[in-house]
Chain A
Amino acid sequence: MAVMSYRQALHDTLRAEMLRDPDVFLMGEEIGRFEGSYKITAGMLEEFGPRRVRDTPIAEEGFTGAAVGAAMLGLRPVVEIMTINFSLLALDQIVNHAAKIYGMFGGQRSVPMVIRTPGGGGQQLAATHSQNVELFYAFTPGLKVVAPSSPADAKALMLASIRDDDPVLFLENLALYNTKGEVPDGDEPAEIGRAAVTREGTDITLVAYSRMAHVALQVAEKLASEEGISAEVVDLRSLRPLDRDTVIESVKKTNCAVVLEDDWLTYGIGAEVAASISDGAFDWLDAPVRRVAMAEVPLPYAKSLELAALPSANDVVTAVHQTLDAVGRRSVGAH
């Protein structure tokens, strides 16, 4: 098992899949000569040549549509859309075509493509370049949406996504590229649609994905060491299909939950998770499910304002305190 960055895990996995399957090819803006805006595709053009590593014009709808066509005809394109903000330009191709072709044409053609795209704020890129619009895709039947939070999951989910016969939106996060972790050797794909309990606990369940799954783990450690609160962390890993069962099982154990997400609160993924909990674990809840999310504003450019708008570890701690106070279960710590 090697320790490597999230970025390196993605690069190595993409390269391994290119070597394994000649039908896999890459497309996107600046992924060849410039080696990718985030250097995930570094060295790929040199190794695999321009036929399999294709620089595209700045035309998201066009190249995403081309990938849909290629996938329908049997290739396995991996498209990089520079940021998820730009994927909105390709929304029609993703939501109306990639997602629907299998169902609309009676299963005659599947669309085995991957759309890799990073999201997330905190980089001072202002309102139109800092969004987490994965909800739009998680909302769409026919798409799979995965969101790894660790280098190990980045690898296992990338393997699974490339080999999946359905279109997969593969959500990366700018804040995670340099995070490090152990990555297993070998070539074991994850099961898409299976959440992970990344930390066991008994007092409260924290549900999160992508960057917030990281934050959840940090908060859980802090709560354990400073206050003796035992938080269980469920990393969703996949937003569609959503592993409701794992979340529900955890809440049945802890009897309360806080759902963390990096995007706007209203109508969000946290709302979906909260609804699932109330559906599946109603009789096990001792307190309402709380959600921690971003402020409902276009994300500001000014650093201080941006930080104020993004959900922080402190926000999570506060939500945990409020929840546990409500059921009289915060034994340690002053308040």
Chain B
Amino acid sequence: MVDILMPRLSDTMEEGVVSAWRKQVGDEVKAGDILVEIETDKAIMEHEAYEAGVLAEIVVPDGGTAPIGAPIARLQTAGDPAVAAPAAEPAAKQSAAAEKPAEPEAAPAPAAAEPAGTPAPADGSNGARVLSSPLARRDAREFGIDLATVEGTGPGGRIIRADVAKARDAAGAQPTTAPAPTAAPAAAPALEETDELIPLTSIRKTIARRLTESMQSSPHFYVTKTVDAGPLMQLRAELNERLVAADKRKVSVNDIVVRAVAVVLRDHPVVNSSFTDDGIVQHGRVNVGIAVATETGLVVPVIRDTDGKSLTRISAETRELAGKARDRKLGLDEMSGGTFTVSNLGMYGIDHFTAVINPPEAAILAVGAVRSEPGVREGEVAVVQRMTMTLSSDHRVIDGAQAAEFVRDLAAVLENPWLAVA
């Protein structure tokens, strides 16, 4: 059996179309007979048989396309055994081949239906074209604002950045009204009567995107340790007594934890890092972010150069940033540039939890409540104060032992908290 291959008929040809078979399956072929017409990118050319035989199979039917060198038919030559047999077989193959052209014809039909369907919703949602600058569209995407609801003041009514900013401020006051029209068509199907659809705010979208990205791209692992929080509570009590006496504001357990984290991070640059495609960035500065729950969602203001700031300074900055966060007045620069995050659910009485890393940072510390429980101190059963913390680490950057060392050193500082204040 000899394969008839798609011939190369011009320098630029990469594939050819079988324009028409001049011989049919079962036909006898002499060397030099015209077998098939091939259409190239330039012309239709006749292709002749190089050998004599019987055309046994047409692999590429009329209208079919094949790359140069691909078999388009098979020829039974005199040397082949069972020259007599092919008659029945090719018939079957031929009909199979004949079905093929039918397929491409069928395929376009559903495809054609699609374009007809799509314009309808587009018309339905909003008939007129909304003119907007690329920057305005970018801002609108970011803040989750539907441009159809924005009035354009640029030339020809074009929506410009200032218009989106105005719309965002307005939406900030009444977040539920503006996004509704966009959300409705997308989510209509599975809602039951008792369900309520709450439109995604831009902050919720950002949280969703970033945390999904974090869990998907950075392999998390967790290291947990419980520390004796007695000395910590004692230090805080003493300190606050003096601060109150001096007419200054008290510090919180979390303030001391943040200060301790910053101090220990200096000795653990691996934990104060970020993974990038170009390599691991070890940050020269220690900027600790503090997870703050707000009505609209989680935000993480950052205290810059935390390791160089006193406990009272950290406390004051945290209070200020958390206040701004709750009032939604946090600037972008106050939320960016973090190198590590502390998340504390102690005030909710949570004993222990794990946190999702805040990308592009490499680790986050989840801190639980200080609780009193029976424990063993100096060989005696006693009431001890305990606090459990869990470090979530990005395993691309931090190895298990490195995380363990960091947590161990942090525990040592928290159990001897004067080191954190020093």
A to B CB contacts below 8 Å, 27 in the list: A255-B135, A255-B161, A282-B134, A283-B134, A283-B137, A284-B135, A284-B138, A285-B134, A285-B135, A286-B133, A286-B134, A286-B135, A286-B136, A286-B160, A326-B154, A326-B155, A326-B158, A326-B160, A327-B133, A327-B154, A327-B160, A327-B161, A327-B162, A328-B153, A328-B160, A328-B162, A329-B162
- Within the complex, the shortest CB–CB distance from A276 to chain B, in Å, comes to 15
Q: Cβ of A295 < 8 Å from any Cβ of B?
A: no
A329 to B160, CA, bound (A): 10
- A residues 236-275 in Cβ contact with B at 8 Å: 255
CA A207 – CA B35 in complex, angstroms?
63
Count of residues in A whose CB is under 8 Å from the partner chain? 11
Q: Label chain B's interface by main secondary structure.
A: helix
Give the complex CA separation of A287 and B154 in angstroms. 9
CB-contacts of B104-152 with A (<8 A): 133-138
Which B residues are CB-close (under 8 A) to A286? 133-136, 160-161
- What is the total number of residues of chain B having a CB less than 8 Å from a CB of chain A? 13
Bound CA span A283–B134, Å: 5
Chain A residues with Cβ under 8 A from B136's Cβ? 286
Q: Which residue of B lies closest to A326 (CB)?
A: B155
- A319 CB to nearest chain B CB (Å): 14
Q: Do B135 and A283 touch across chains, with their CB atoms under 8 A apart?
A: yes
Which chain A residues in 295-335 approach chain B with CB under 8 Å?
Answer: 326-329
Q: Given the complex of chains A and B, what is the CA–CA distance between A109 and B366 in angstroms?
A: 66
For the complex formed, measure the closest distance between the CB of A326 and the CB atoms of chain B, giving whole angstroms.
Answer: 5
A118–B136 Cα gap in the complex (Å)?
Answer: 43
Identify the closest chain A residue to B162 (Cβ).
A328
Minimum distance in angstroms from A98 CB to a CB of chain B: 30
Q: A282-B134, A326-B155 are in contact. List 6 more A-B contacts (CB 8 A).
A: A283-B134, A286-B161, A326-B154, A326-B158, A328-B153, A329-B162
Q: Beta-carbon contacts of A111-147 to B below 8 Å, as 1s and 0s?
A: 0000000000000000000000000000000000000
Q: Within the complex, what minimum Cβ distance (angstroms) separates B211 from chain A?
A: 24
| A283 near B162: Cβ-Cβ < 8 Å | no
Whether A287 lies near B133 (C-beta < 8 A) is: yes
Q: Which of A276-291 contact B (CB under 8 A)?
A: 282-287
In the complex, which residue of chain A has the Cβ closest to the Cβ of B138? A283
Most buried by A among B135, B138, B153, B160: B135
Bound CA–CA A285/B134 (angstroms) = 6
A332 to B: closest C-beta gap in Å:
16
